[in-house]
Structure 1
Amino acid sequence: MTLRLLMLADTHVPARARALPPDVWAAVDDADVVLHAGDWVDVGLLDALSSRARRLVGCFGNNDGAALRSRLPLVAHVDLDGLRVGVVHETGAASGRERRCDEAYPDLDLLVFGHSHIPWDTVTPRGLRLLNPGSPTDRRRQPAATYVTATVQDGRLDDVTLHALPVRR
């Protein structure tokens, strides 16, 4: 069985955007699992995603208040068809990230993270895949707002795709 994943981070709803873009909601509807790496900002988005997603795995971020922190972990862990996944908001500076993550997450195959709003896709020396989907609502210095989709089958991550959203004026 193939699992379809949607990876999000730094949605900042409603602080930076009133709502998630329609393309993201369509991706939620298509996904078997939604992974959200923090900075939701408002518990309303957590409730909306929880009610619409087939399965939601998320953590809190540095901009998430007490209501979100009471419902979400600092680091979420999930096994997806044999793929050991962690979801965390911050991993620190880009320099040395692979080494730090290898040390901090020795039992993971995939770590989804956020915070920078900058898409990132690397593999550590140990083989840990590091993915930051960017932000679907706050592109900052990036050319477009982004999110990531992928598939998982038999413990293998495939079809990793960075999606760029149209720039809203």
Structure 2
Amino acid sequence: MSTRLLLLADTHVPRRARVLPEQVWRAVDEVDVVLHAGDWVDPATLDALQERARRVVGVWGNNDGPGLRSRLPEVARLELEGVRLAMTHETGAARGREERCQAAFPDTDVLVFGHSHIPWDTTTAGGLRLLNPGSPTDRRRQPVCTMMTATATDGVLTDVTLVPVQR
């Protein structure tokens, strides 16, 4: 069996965009689980995703207020099809990230994070895969807005794809 995933972070609605782009909503409809690595900003985005998605797993970010922090953890952990995932918003500076995250998440296969709005896909020497989907609403210094899709199958994360988002 396989589980299709959509990875989001840093949606910043309504500050960076009034609403999530339609392309994001189409992706929500196509997957089994939506992972959101924080900086929602507005609880209405969480509500809308929970109403439409089959399953939503999220964490709060540094721009999320008490309403979101009361509903979401700082760190989420789950297992999908044998893949041990963790998610948090911030992992600190890019320099030394792999070592810090490997030490902080030793029993994890994949760590999803956000904060920088910069897509990231690396694997530590210990085998931890680090994924940042970027932002679907605020490209910051990137050429385009982005999100990621992936599939969890038989203990492995496959088909990890950085998807450009049209706004």
Query: TM-score, normalising length from structure 2?
Result: 0.99
Partner of 1:161: 161
State the TM-score, normalizing by the size of structure 1.
0.98
2:86 paired with 1:103: no
How far apart are the structure 1 equivalents of 2:55 and 2:106? 25
Matched with 2:3 is 3
Equivalent residue letter for 2:155: G
Q: Name 1:143's counterpart in structure 2.
A: 143
Alignment correspondent of 2:62: 62
Amino acid at match of 1:111: L
How many aligned residue pairs are there? 167
Offset, 1:154: 0.8
Q: Secondary structure at the match of 2:28?
A: helix
Q: Within 1, Cα distance between the matches of 2:86 and 2:29?
A: 22
Q: Distance in 1 between matches of 2:11 and 2:42?
A: 10
Counterpart of 1:40 in structure 2 is: 40
Identity of aligned residues (%): 69
Deviations 1:5-58 (A, max 9, x none): 000000000111001101100000001010000000000000000111101111
User: Could you say what secondary structure the match of 1:151 adopts?
Assistant: strand
Could you list the structure 1 runs, at least 4 aligned residues long, displaced by more than 4 angstroms after superposition. none
Mapped partners of 1:78, 1:14: distance in 2: 29
1:151, CA displacement in angstroms?
Answer: 0.5
Letter in 2 for 1:15: R
Task: State the alpha-carbon separation in 2 of the partners of residues 51 and 101 from structure 1.
Answer: 32
Paired residues for 1:14-33 under 5 Å: 14-33=14-33
Q: Using the TM superposition, give the Cα deviation of residue 2 of structure 1 relative to its aligned residue in structure 2, in angstroms.
A: 1.1
What's the secondary structure of 2:149's corresponding residue? strand
**Counterpart-to-counterpart distance in 2, 1:155 and 1:73:** 24
Q: What one-letter code is carried by the residue in structure 1 that aligns with 2:88? A: V
SS at match of 1:103: helix
- For residues 40 and 58 of structure 1, the distance between their equivalents in structure 2, rounded to whole angstroms, comes to 9
Q: Which runs of 5+ in 2 are unaligned?
A: none
- Distance between the aligned counterparts of 2:30 and 2:6, measured in 1? 9
In structure 1, how many angstroms separate the alpha carbons of the residues matched to 2:39 and 2:113? 11
Which residue number in structure 2 is paired with residue 118 of structure 1?
118
- Report the aligned-residue RMSD: 0.6
